[in-house]
């Protein structure tokens, strides 16, 4: 997560496309960490909404291949 945070900080206001992609990945990594904590038996933090497994709510728009 630190790498994506660093990328966001370096590209904020300079490279919008890279910033948006890094921010999307950072959000997904944060959510994944919350899911993992819950899997290990920790209580949900309440900060993140659990999505459907396999969904990519933040980065899905970057996964669509333009025609």
Would you state the pLDDT for residue 65?
Answer: 64
Would you state the pLDDT for residue 60?
Answer: 73
Q: Model pTM? A: 0.64
Domains of the chain by residue range:
1-34
Q: Binning pLDDT at 50, 70 and 90, where does residue 36 land?
A: confident
Q: Distance from CA of residue 24 to its chain's centroid?
A: 4
Q: Distance from CA of residue 25 to its chain's centroid?
A: 4
Q: Which of 59, 55, 65, 66 is nearest to 17 (CA)?
A: 59
């Amino acid at each position: 997560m630190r790498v994506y945070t660093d990328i966001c900080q370096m590209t904020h206001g300079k490279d919008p496309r890279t910033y948006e992609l890094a921010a999307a990945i950072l959000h997904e990594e944060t959510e994944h960490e919350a899911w993992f904590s819950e899997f290990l038996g920790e209580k949900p933090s309440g900060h993140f909404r659990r999505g459907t497994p396999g969904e990519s709510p933040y980065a899905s728009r970057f996964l669509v291949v333009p025609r």
